[in-house]
Amino acid sequence: MSRLLRNLVGDRKGAAAVEFGLAIPVALVMLLGAMNMGIYLYFKNSMTTAIDETARAAILYPQPSDAELSTKFESNLLTAKKFGSAAVTLTRGTSTDGRKYVELVGTGSYPVNLVFVNLGSLPVRSTRRAYFQE
């Protein structure tokens, strides 16, 4: 019996397969996490760019309506729309020094999913205030 036990302890066959089996789930989660973080940053950057472009369009003459600005925001999101949800809120007002402005607030969320585990969603927010030329 002790001879059989010594042979089993000294046998190294299959050690690499066991180590691979232990390491692959960790490596897979890290890879998927990095991919999700990259897509989140792309979505966030797309929203910021869409808000910037909408702010530029808002100060043009003649002043576009809120519906036209919302359409402009949606069209500037490009392919980021398929990764998460986003919406824009427009608020028109007058500053303390009498200048008219429109404030654009883009809000959205990006769902984080690691194939087996749904981690919820990350919020995305971008704000710009565009002042009108008088």
Domain edges within the chain: 1-131
Highest-confidence segment of 2-11, 58-67, 121-130 = 121-130
Q: What is the pLDDT of residues 90-133, one digit of tens each?
A: 999 999 999 999 999 999 999 998 877 888 999 999 999 999 98
Residue 108 CA to residue 88 CA, distance in Å, equals 9
Residue 86 · residue 107 · CB < 8 Å: yes
Q: Please, are residues 115 and 32 in contact by the beta-carbon 8 Å criterion?
A: yes
* Helix (H/G/I), strand (E/B), else coil: 108: strand
Helices (H), the chain: 2-10, 15-58, 66-76
Whole-prediction pTM: 0.82
